[in-house]
Amino acid sequence: MKTWNKNSNLDKIIEDFTVGNDYLLDQRLVKYDCQASIAHAEMLHEINILKQDEKEKLIQKLNEIINLQENGEFNINKSEEDCHTAIENYLTRELGDTGKKIHTARSRNDQVLTALRLYYRDEIKNIKELIKSNIKSIADFIDKFGPIQLPGYTHTRKAMPSTISMWAGGLKDSMQDNLDHLTFYAKFIDQSPLGTAAGYGAPLKIKRDYTAGKLGFDRVQKNPVYCQNSRGKFESGLAHILGMVMYDLNKYASDLILFSMPGCQYFTLPDNFVTGSSIMPQKKNPDVLELLRAKYHVIISLENRINSMMANLITGYHRDFQLFKEAIFEIFDITTASLQINAKIFASLEVNEDNCQEALTEELYATEKAYKLVKQGMPFREAYHKISQEYQ
C-alpha cells in the first residue's frame, strides 16, 4: 500500500512511469532509512508520542529489516514505490497501530534526504580509503622505479627530461588534493535534514538536535526549505569532486596507453591485464586503460544530467529530484571500481628502463644547453636563440 493512498486507483501506465526503477535502486538505502527511523523512534519516545514498549518493538523490527536486507530477503514491491513505504508497510504488518506511528512528524521527502546523506557519508568514507590506497600504490611504484629517467612531453612532443618519480608523483599529489577536497565536502554535507518533513516542518515540537546526534551528524540543517533546495546541489558538488578524481585517472590512463605501445614501451602491463583480438593473434590490447579513460566521460555526462535537471525549479520539493538518485549511485559505483583498478595497475606496472634511456634523445637537453650559456653570463634570450639555431 502506498503511504499517500487516498482510495483512488492510479492508472497503471501512470504508476509505471512515476515509480520508474526506484523500488530497485532503493535496496541500497534500506539500511540507512532504518537507521534514521530508529533515531526517529527514539526521539518520538522522548516527546511522549511513543511508549517505551512501542519504541523497543519498532527498533527491534527495524533491525530485523536491516538483517533481512543484508541477506537479500527484504523485498520492495513496485506498488510500494520505494524503500520508505516498504519499511513502513512491514512495520504496520508486524506491529499494527504501533507501526503506523513511525511516520509521525516525517515526510518521505526528509526520509529520502536523510537516508541519502547517511549513504553518501559511507560512500565518501569508502572512496577516501580507496584514494589512500591509490596514493600508497603510486608511492610504492615510485620507490621501485622513481629515479629512472624518461622524456617529458608538451604538445605531445618530447620536451625535457623527466623521471618516473616526477611523472607518477603528479598523480600522487593530485590524489592527495582529491582526498582533501572530499574530506572538506564530507563535512559540508554533514547536516541532518530529518524533521523538516516535506520542506516546511511539522506542527509538532520535535527534537531535531536529538536525532542529528543519534545519527552522528555534525549539525542540523535548520532551514526546511533549504533542505529541499540542497537536493541536487549537494549531489552536483559530489559529482564534480568525483569527476575530478576520474579526470586524473583519465589522464594517466591516456599516458599509459601511449607509453606502453610498441615503438615506445616505457611501460609494460602484465599479460593478465590485457586482452586479445578475435582475428589478430598477436594483439595485446589495453582495454582496461581505454575503459578507465572513457569512464571519466560517463561521470561528466551524469554530472551534467544532475545540473540540468535541478535548474529552473522553484523552491521546494519536485518529483524531478527522484532522477538524481540513479545518477549519483552510478557515479559512486564507477569511481569506486575505477580507483580499485588504478591501484591494481600501479601495483603491477613495469618500467622498461632501457627503452626509457634510449628515448632520451639529444634534443631533450636543448634547454640545459641554453642555461649553461646563461651560467657563463650570456643573457637568456641570446642563449635561447643561439641554441635554437642547432635545431633549425
Task: Point out the residues that are catalytic.
Answer: 155, 277
Q: How many beta carbons lie within 10 A of that of residue 147, not counting itself? A: 9
In eight-state DSSP terms, residue 275 is B
Give the integer Cα–Cα distance in Å for 270 and 274: 7
Q: Which amino acid is at 131?
A: I
Q: What share of the chain is helix, strand, coil (3-state, %, to 5)?
A: 70, 5, 25
What's the sign of the alpha-carbon dihedral 212, 123, 23, 224? positive
Give the integer Cα–Cα distance in Å for 154 and 96: 70
226 phi-psi bin (left φ>0, alpha ψ -120 to 50, beta other) = alpha
8 Å CB contact between 49 and 101: yes
Q: Which amino acid is at 116?
A: L
Strand 350-351 and strand 267-268: the pairing is: antiparallel
Give the integer Cα–Cα distance in Å for 392 and 389: 5
8 Å CB contact between 324 and 22: no
Give the integer Cα–Cα distance in Å for 130 and 245: 11
8 Å CB contact between 328 and 235: yes
What's the sign of the alpha-carbon dihedral 326, 238, 317, 61? positive
8 Å CB contact between 151 and 159: yes
